[in-house]
Homo-oligomer: A and B are copies of this chain.
């Protein structure tokens, strides 16, 4: 019996608004994370959350959505495991806490809060076209670079 089949959890955070360019980045990031054997965790809704989950599922990955509300049906269709927290924006910190590395793609104030909470918790943050609030964020220029940086953080923790 293979235990802990899930692989390491990587969070992809970003806006729920639809933006073709960011969604494309998110989808590719999700795909590459699944290819590397990682579990994707995100907020379970639209925009970057849906796109990253779609990418992960297209490569057979596992996707976890930590939803702000109480209805699991609010999760987008690419989320395997919708977890209805009922915590509102407070679920942002659960996403950060559950992940070994946080990849931020674009994003509004919710994403900024997640970045700040991750940095406060000394968790590695990789940024793709996101808030430039700290040199503690590892900048990436495209999805492959973001995933490579995330995997190297994972390796350095072993």
Contacts and interface: CB of A to CB of B under 8 A. Distances in A.
A27 to B, nearest CB: 12
A120 B97 contact: no
A21 to B, nearest CB: 22
A24 interface: no
Contacts of A119: 109, 112
Nearest to A133: B133
Given A6-B80, A80-B4, A98-B72, A88 B86 contact: yes
B79 A4 contact: yes
Interface string A100-136: 1000000011101100110111000000000101100
A62 B3 CA distance: 10
A3 B77 contact: yes
Contact of A9 (B57, B70, B72, B133): B72
A6 B117 contact: no
Interface residues of A, number: 50
A84 interface: yes
Contact of A98 (B6, B58, B85): B85
B93 A93 contact: yes
A9 B97 contact: no
A57 B113 contact: no
B84 A93 contact: no
Interface string A14-40: 000000000000000000000000010
A132 to B, nearest CB: 10
